[in-house]
Structure 1
Amino acid sequence: MTEPRENIPESSLRDRLAQLTLEQKVRLLTGASTWTLHPEPAVGLRSLLLSDGPAGVRGTKFDERDPSASLPSPTALAATWDEGRVHRLGRLLAAEARRKRVDVLLAPTVNLHRTPYGGRHFECLSEDPFLSGRIGAAFVRGVQSVGVAATVKHFVANDSETERLTLDARVDQRVLREVYLAPFEAIVREGRPWAVMAAYNRVNGTTMTEHPLLREVLKGEWGFDGLVMSDWFATRSVDGTGRGGLDLAMPGPASPWVDGLVAAVREGRVPESTVDDKVLRLLLLAARVGRLDGVAAPDEPDATAPVVTAEEIAKELRSAAVASFVLVRNENEMLPLRADALRRVAVIGPNAGIARIQGGGSANVVPAYAVSPLDGLRAALGDGVRVDHAQGVRTNNLLTPVSSATSANPETGQPGLLVRFLDAQGAELAREHRTQGNLIWAGTFVPTVPDELVPRIHVIEVRSRLRVARAGEHLVGLAGLGRYSLSVAGEVVFDERLVLPPGADILEGLTRPPQKQVAVALPAGEVDLVARHEVAAWLGGLVTLRLGVEPVPAPDEDAIAHAVAVAGEADAVVLVVGTTDESEIEGVDRDSLALPGRQDDLVRRVVAANPRTVVVVNSGGPVLMPWAEEVPAILVSWLPGQEFGNALADALLGAAEPGGRLPTTWPVPGGPIPASRPVNGVLDYAEGLHVGYRAWDRAGVDPAFCFGHGLGYTTWEYSALSSASTMPAGQGLPVRVKVANTGDRAGREVVQVHLSRPGSAVERPVRWLAGFATVDLPPGEASTVEVTVPARAFEHWDEARGAWVVEPGLFRVEVGRSARDLRLATEVRVHPSD
């Protein structure tokens, strides 16, 4: 193991290691449970707690009784292009982690947006390796500055979800180095993460948990001194992983190592020195997060958990969401809206009345609240403006869960639900009161059910006294995996087993579970519902039950007609469209980039009825917008976290500027978009270096909106570009440009620097991002911005030499507002270093 970089003496770690038997060492290298690691009192090692995720800290429970701050999605964080802000958000996450007693945060996810079809697109940062590396390093530094470990994942080429557990990503070595390994390398070298997660997939035939890249490149060439853990259940061998760079098999208590690693060492198939290195890395991780007795945690100047109040969290998340919003179109300065000129506003769309704030899977948390666009605009506009609402179309398949707003505990009358845990004879083991009907237990029922009673749970029963506002046909249903029954007013309406379709990823049982629903005539007033689920172990102990009720929706045509009528009477329309909780999720790639349902029809007809319409696109990744040229203003809001509605009101009404720039190209149909689905188990990265905007440049095709694009509420002028005209290889290049705010209000600009190599003898992208910086200026002011282009930006990977090299000659340096709005250019000649 390399020498630790903090003031943690390796001699102390080795002294502890020497006290352990082989059996004790091996025991430490598999998790104790889904989220915890084994303690070892003999050497002062306390148990560590791990937790998802990139947009919030869940802890061990999906539970509204212990809510988590819900941050803007990672795509939104990258859209800020703001390392300082991302560092602050990392510290906020670390404070949340400490509040939940979490030591290791399983984030950030830095796999690339290789294709917009990727189901986990929202959880990753960008299509560009340089931007992903810079934002990811800022995230890691922020989290670890408070003494919580960040885990950079998923190493490597885990860029799509179809067959993600087994697919073989075929990537040539130069592409692997320059594109897919690049953000990991930048984060390891600049952010110094304490943990990395090895992916499920294979790369060029070898599964990542036993891939030589872990040992030879990550730990060897880059000098990574932290711990490498597996993705959950990704450890599939004893000898290969035991000899390789994997250090920790998750989750526990079972893994191939538990039964086989001691024997592999005794029989000489795995050197004990390799096991020792793994344990040393685990001890170092424990020391870094303060879980190794007698060893001081890293002596960082700010390594204390900040006290963050709910008000401070709300303010930070609101500001971050606005900073991430990307104004991609604003004809005739439609935005910002003038509140003093509004008397009636229509807020329309399937994502308008219920906040769509996050994606599904590992990144999902339960926040204390979520502000919808409708509620945010009503609060901001006040009583003097009438705000009308229409859903327009239905896009979700899963029913809306019952909640404290619609249900009461039938025994206590408290808003919410009664949950009972029963044994095989029907005797009650425990009960709990819950306030929402999407119930998920992640490997534990503590504190309600002690661990020793969990094996006796046979049935989970949920009782709800539903408040029905209006008599009529309603859809009532349950979603989950296993056997479920539902009674309405004492009558069983179904009793059957729910299963995933053939070939589905097991995680779909959590993210978009099968659902049984029936139409039932309900009277106005109170109706008793009783749901029952027979518990069976699956997916590492996850148990789910989602009880949902909705009035039978009107046909889409009627709903669109109503929305059009509402829009026609308004001074302005805010139309919120987007993806759903079921279309952007871990475990499943998207089948289509079109908006779900009839949202495109809704947009066209609403805009025709009222040309003063702002379309807000609420999605984690790109969608097709065939109506874009018909709409005066389009704002991309991403999946913006719990402060969505308040932040949206700030942006639309001009209280703050939407400051984001696209971290990913938004496509048009027929563009150069790679496939996400393997063929015969193989996913060929045939596009090579030409990922994202690079592919569009190479094809000479205009996307809908290009990488780096974003308008804001002011205008900018670039002038006086300067840099050295020659430089030796191996050095960075300072580039200076004068930027002036030529508008009438303060604004924020992202200065973007691209390189190209005219006449190169080496295949290259047409151009590539090589640097960026942000500047905030009041109206009429100017500033000289300096961006240092790193030496690596001029280099390419020479596979024959196995090294980074520079092709001497002329490089073109272009500076501007986006990949397609490069306003100034100069040239630098790079010559061999002495």
Structure 2
Amino acid sequence: MSNTIDELLAGLDLPAKIELISGANFFRFAGDPSIGLAEMPVSDGPSGVRGEQWDERDPSVSLPSGTALAATWDRELLTEIGALIAAEARRKDVYAVLGPTINLHRSPLGGRHFECFSEDPLLTAEIAAAYVRSVQAHGVSACPKHYVANDSETERFTADVIASERTLRELYLYPFERSVQAGAWMIMAAYNSVNGVTMTENDLLDEPLKGEWGFDGVVVSDWTAVRSTLGAAKGNDLAMPGPWEAWGKPLEEAVRAGQVPESAIDEKVRRILRFAERVGALNGTPRQAPAFTDAAAQQLVRTAAAKAMVLASNDGTLPLNKPAGVALLGSAAAEPRFMGGGSATVIPSHTTSPLEGLSQALPVVYTPGVHLSENMLPVPLDLITDPETGTPGLDLRYLDGDTLLDQEHRTAGALMLFGNANALRAKTIELRGRLRADVAGEWRIGFAGVGTLSLTLDGEQVLEENVVPAGADPVEMLLNPPQRSVTRTLAAGQEVDMLVRMVPGGGFPAMGITCAVGRPRRSADEEFAAAVELARTSEVAVVVVGTTEQIESEGFDRTTLRLPGRQDELVAAVAAVNPRTVVVVNSGSPVEMPWRDDVAAVLLTWFPGQEFGAALADVLTGAAEPGGRLPTTWPRTIDEVPVLNTKPAADNALPYEEGIHIGYRAWLKSGVAPAYPFGHGLGYTSWELADLKVSGRTATVSVRNTGARPGRQVVQAYLSRSVSTVDRPVRWLSGFAAVEAAPGETVTATIELPQRSFEHWTDQGWTVEPGAFTLHIGTSVTDLPLTADIG
């Protein structure tokens, strides 16, 4: 392979080589026909493969969030998920998916907490390795990100993480090390700095990544993270997006002036050519991944979502056994969060909300009780008609003055236009539709976008404004643009012609355009009272609570762990009138639950992907067991969280003063009991663990299902050291195994304990402290009935 690549490299002059080390455009790596190198589209990929553009006409499968996948503790499931991701990538002509996100849950406030797997490095590493192996087994590259210590979003472009080498090695680097061992073909370098040096120029790209670990793939920058021309000599190989100005003519001049050795450029190109050969873009064709029918993809997502749901508490109310009536409450029951915000966003062909899913399985009556947001929603497809086609949807026009450049029938109220070729050349963009009011009352009608926008209703312009974004983060601007609206009182069945016109401006390209509506609502107090009364008169109350895109997303961190609006108040009021109150928590990361001891059951669903409603119905009725175990600690209150800060100081420094003590390690050190500990999760049966045996680095345990239903249990192994010469966690995860058993059946859980879990980092490298460790076996970090000494 190397000879062929060196021969191809020899045929490239310096400008051609420099062209290959930055992208061809926003989501495409450059090619060179002269050497048989195709351009290579890539796509964000943590929770589905979007493709190069956001377009509802080319939908994507929406997968459970990172926290949900890790909550399964299921390597085999990740193998299936990886195959689906690869199939989606090939369907969309994508050579690499930009995922998984394997930063750690250092603080529950982290904005992309939902996108990452776990607070524990070993669990993160195991899930990541399974993801990487499976996706790449089908000829599509994974891209673990963001190397390294990009564990929060506040000032993410400039934050400087200050961490010891031991902290980096044992925690934050370990999932990347395991991903490289799993064969990762690409790693993404982060925006932040570590110990004073921005990551695209940091020595950590050389050691341990390319040196000690032997990584022979491509280090790609996070988008715009390449900061300087002379930094090209460092470990970053590919600057995205492209063409990247700092790596164009200035880099060629720097090489010719002897400031950057051409050999450094050659090494980057070798890595890119090796990558291209692996994904079938160099004198070859991409390998075909296994095809998934829509039904098969939906079933896999449904199964994964149910397996990820964590039953945090249950007094026996769940599973529901044919209740006479169910009060379904909460705004999130009808308008849930299927996925996290930011670059993890995809557009699925369909979704099932809790309201839709439960209505198919149970006698449900619904009212929201509270509203999470005053924001309008993109106009629903069943309320808008394209005046050109007479079919559900909208008419999108691209104009240059009076010249019509192009026209499209679109089937979504919110359109992402970033990177759209027509939008880039249009001076004006128009979105037209005929709105039908399905209920009488006061409607809000408006738009969302950035630029000069106007709204025309029935031929009369009623609104015009130059809209500028509230913040500077481009992801926030793209996915949560400012909204403007007017109110109109409409009769049921009344129709209104809508025209939203946008003139991009203010230095921003056409990011997106939205026709938005707010349907009539009861007053807040009337709605709240109606929900409580419905709960009082129903056999069971199911309250779905959750977060919003303005709380959990890319580009910012949270400032509180409280649920937004009056959701806590609603749960407390419902629980006071109905002792059979089940609370479903639709958040990607921990929230405070002050009512948790006053309700019959608490079910944590994360952001579960497009089959949320169907999977939730499966779990609540007992058709499927809630199979999840917590991949991260859930606190009682924010004040008790031992590691919380995500805000850099004035000098950009963000010290990781806690060292190796994050997550459950920090909780154990503090001595404070959280609401729900790491590894915790109930099912619909009971278990007994016995007969722990240890042979070398392998532990076996007999696991008996003592209940009346089949079930699944995750057996967890932790190590401790009662006397040690080094600072250690009270306990730390060393391995785990998931087992399934029928009622009364006994099975054996076999847990491999990696050598690394016994080692600690010193100035001389990895070492094992002499003497015995204690092995603890159980079902959470605080429920460990079996112990043994292990050397």
Bin the TM-score by the shorter chain. over 0.9
Identity rate, percent:
51
Contact 2:145 2:189 in 1 (8 A): yes
Quick check: 1:235–1:255 contact (8 Å CA) kept in 2? no
* 5+ residue gaps, structure 1: 1-8, 298-302, 725-731, 830-834
Q: Following TM superposition, by how much is the alpha carbon of 1:553 offset from its aligned partner in structure 2, in angstroms?
A: 3.0
Q: 1:156 and 1:99 mapped to 2: Cα distance?
A: 31
Deviations 1:270-293 (A, max 9, x none): 111111110011111111111110
Q: Distance in 2 between matches of 1:148 and 1:323?
A: 26
Structure 1 position 774 matched with structure 2 position 738: yes
The one-character-per-residue Cα deviations of 1:363-403 (angstroms, maximum 9, x if unpaired) are 0000000001011011123xxx3x21011111124311113
Matches within 5 A, 1:605-616: 605-616=573-584
Q: Is the 8 A contact 2:630 2:678 kept in 1?
A: yes
Match of 1:433 among 381, 389, 409: 409
Matches within 5 A, 1:514-663: 514-524=482-492, 525-536=494-505, 543-663=511-631
- The one of 784, 802, 807 equivalent to 2:769 is 807
The one-letter code of the counterpart of 2:395 is L
1:206 to 197, 213, 220: 197
Q: 1: distance between equivalents of 2:170 and 2:522?
A: 52
Matched, 1:107 2:76: no
Name the residue aligned to 1:228: 219
Is the CA contact 1:749–1:776 (under 8 Å) kept in the aligned structure 2?
A: yes
The alignment status of 1:493 with 2:440, answered yes or no, reads: no
Distance in 1 of aligned mates of 2:138 and 2:757 = 31
- Equivalent residues of 1:396, 1:581 under 8 A apart: no
Q: Which residue of 2 aligns with 1:41?
A: 33
Residue identity in the other structure for 1:683? L
Partner of 2:657: 686
SS in 1 for 2:511: strand
- Contact residue 322 and residue 651 of structure 1 kept, 8 A: yes
Please give the alpha-carbon distance, in whole angstroms, between the structure 1 residues aligned to 2:571 and 2:404.
52
1:358 aligns with 2:328: no
Aligned residue among 314, 317, 334 for 2:317: 334
Aligned residues: 787
Checking the alignment, whether the CA contact within 8 Å between 1:615 and 1:631 is kept in structure 2 is: yes
Paired residue for 1:795, among 749, 756, 759? Answer: 759
Q: How many angstroms does 1:516 deviate by?
A: 1.7
Distance 1:57 1:270 in 2: 37
Matches within 5 A, 1:365-380: 365-380=346-361
Residue aligned with 2:751, SS: strand
Paired position in structure 1 for 2:81: 89
SS in 2 for 1:178: helix
Distance 1:788 1:350 in 2: 44
CA distance in 1, matches of 2:244, 2:464: 34
Match for 1:25 among 17, 21, 40? 17
CA contact under 8 A between 2:688 and 2:703: conserved in structure 1?
A: yes
Contact kept, 8 Å, 1:511 with 1:586, in 2: the verdict is no
Q: Residue 280 of structure 1 aligns with which residue?
A: 270
From 321, 325, 338, the equivalent of 2:309 is: 325
Distance 1:343 1:623, change over 3 A: same
**Who is 2:722 aligned against?**
758
Alpha-carbon shift at residue 653 of structure 1 (Å): 0.2
Residue identity opposite 2:709 in structure 1: R
The 3-state SS of whatever aligns with 1:380 is coil
Distance 1:154 1:495 in 2: 41
**Residue identity in the other structure for 1:392:** G
Structure 1 residue 819 corresponds to structure 2 residue 790: no
Deviation of residue 455 (structure 1)? 5.0
Report matched runs for 1:424-463 at 5 Å: 425-445=401-421, 449=422, 456-463=425-432
Contact 2:90/2:288 (8 A) holds in 1: no
Matches of 1:180 and 1:598 in 2, distance apart?
37
Is 1:742 the counterpart of 2:706? The answer is yes
Is 1:57 paired with 2:53?
no
Give the one of 622, 626, 643 matched to 1:673: 643
Is 1:119 matched up with 2:119?
Answer: no
TM-score normalised by structure 2 residue count: 0.98
RMSD: 1.4
Is 1:73 aligned to residue 65 of structure 2? Answer: yes
How many angstroms does 1:738 deviate by?
Answer: 1.1
Q: Which amino acid aligns with 1:709?
A: H
Helix, strand or coil for the counterpart of 2:204?
helix
The change in CA–CA distance for 1:442 and 1:472 in structure 2 (over 3 A counts) is same
CA contact (8 A) 1:210 1:246 kept: yes
Structure 1 residues 362 and 537 mapped into 2: Cα distance closer, same or farther (>3 Å)?
farther
TM-fit CA distance, 1:469: 1.9
Q: CA deviation at 1:552?
A: 4.1
CA–CA distance in 1 between the matches of 2:433 and 2:510?
Answer: 23
1:159 to 139, 151, 159: 151
Amino acid at match of 1:739: V
Q: Contact 1:249 / 1:255 at 8 angstroms: preserved in 2?
A: no
CA distance in 2, matches of 1:132, 1:542: 37
Q: Quick check: 2:413–2:516 contact (8 Å CA) kept in 1?
A: yes
Could you tell me which amino acid in structure 1 is paired with residue 51 of structure 2? Answer: G
1:554: Cα distance to partner?
A: 2.8
Looking at structure 2, the residues matched to 557 and 137 of structure 1 have their Cα atoms a distance apart, in angstroms, of 50
Paired with 1:251 and 1:268, the residues of 2 have a C-alpha distance of 26
- Secondary structure of 2:396's partner? strand
Change (3 A) 1:123 1:437: same
The one-character-per-residue Cα deviations of 1:283-334 (angstroms, maximum 9, x if unpaired) are 111111111105x87xxxxx64101100100111111110000000001x11
Is 1:257–2:247 an aligned residue pair? yes
What does the per-residue CA deviation read over 1:706-759, in whole Å, with 9 as the maximum and x for residues that have no partner? 1000001111101111225xxxxxxx6111211111111111110100011111
1:467 shift after superposition: 0.3
Q: What CA deviation, in whole Å up to 9, does each residue of 1:101-121 have, x standing for no partner? A: 000110100001111101111
- Asked if the contact 1:210/1:245 (under 8 Å) is kept, the reply is yes
1:569-591 C-alpha deviation (Å, 9 max, x unpaired): 21212111111122111001112
Q: Does the Cα contact within 8 Å between 1:35 and 1:49 map onto a contact in 2?
A: yes
Pair 1:785-2:755 in alignment: no
Corresponding residue number in structure 2 for 1:700: 671
Shift, 1:538, TM fit: 6.1
User: Amino acid of the residue matched to residue 336 of structure 1?
Assistant: P
Give the distance between the partners of 2:178 and 2:510, measured in 1 at CA: 35
TM-score (norm 1): 0.93
Whichever residue aligns with residue 685 of structure 2, its letter is T
Paired with 1:265 and 1:101, the residues of 2 have a C-alpha distance of 34
Matched position secondary structure for 2:564? coil
Alpha-carbon distance in 2 for matches of 1:310, 1:537: 42
1:472 CA displacement: 2.2
Contact (CA 8 Å) 1:97, 1:148: kept in 2 or not? yes
Name the aligned partner's letter for residue 787 of structure 2: A
**Match 1:171 to one of 163, 176, 200:** 163
Which residue pairs with 1:469 in the alignment? 438
- Separation (CA, whole Å) in 2 of partners of 1:254 and 1:706: 46
Q: Decide whether the 8 Å contact of 1:396 with 1:582 is kept in 2.
A: no
SS at match of 2:275: helix
Q: 1:457 to 1:117 in 2, by over 3 A?
A: same
Q: 2: CA distance between counterparts of 1:259 and 1:120?
A: 36
Query: Quick one: which amino acid aligns to residue 752 of structure 2?
Result: T
| Among 182, 186, 194, the residue aligned to 1:195 | 186
**CA distance in structure 1 between the aligned counterparts of 2:350 and 2:325, rounded to whole angstroms:** 27
Greater Cα shift, 541-550 or 677-686: 541-550
Task: Tell me if structure 1 keeps the 8 A contact 2:468–2:506.
Answer: no
- Distance change >3 Å, CA 253–CA 362, structure 1 → 2: same
State the alpha-carbon separation in 2 of the partners of residues 717 and 553 from structure 1: 51
